[in-house]
């Protein structure tokens, strides 16, 4: 009885085929993009509201080029 040698499968190109299939599926896949949460943005106010501010509540801070703080 003669023994038949089974042919070997070249596995060197299997990685190339798997990589090409991966690229194919990445390119052809569609992704759903959500528009995000819909929010109602308030309208722009034309006239800023007036506030009564006491002079004693105002603090003036000055910074010079040496990053020194001067508080009046």
> How confident is the model over 1-43, as pLDDT tens digits?
557 777 777 777 888 889 999 999 999 988 777 767 778 888 8
Asked if residue 68 has pLDDT above 80, the reply is yes
CB-based contact 54:62 (threshold 8 Å): no
What pLDDT score does 2 carry?
Answer: 59
What pLDDT score does 21 carry?
Answer: 94
What pLDDT score does 1 carry?
Answer: 54
Q: Model-level pTM greater than 0.75?
A: no
CB-based contact 46:54 (threshold 8 Å): no
62 HSE (CA, 13 A, CB side):
5
For the chain, first and last CA: distance in Å? Answer: 109
């Amino acid at each position: 009885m003669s023994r038949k040698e089974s042919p070997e499968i070249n596995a060197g190109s299997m990685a190339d085929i798997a990589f090409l299939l991966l690229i194919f599926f990445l390119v052809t896949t569609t992704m759903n993009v959500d528009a995000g949460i819909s929010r109602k943005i308030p309208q722009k106010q034309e006239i800023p509201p007036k506030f009564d501010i006491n002079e004693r509540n105002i603090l003036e801070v000055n910074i010079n080029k040496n990053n020194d703080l001067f508080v009046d």
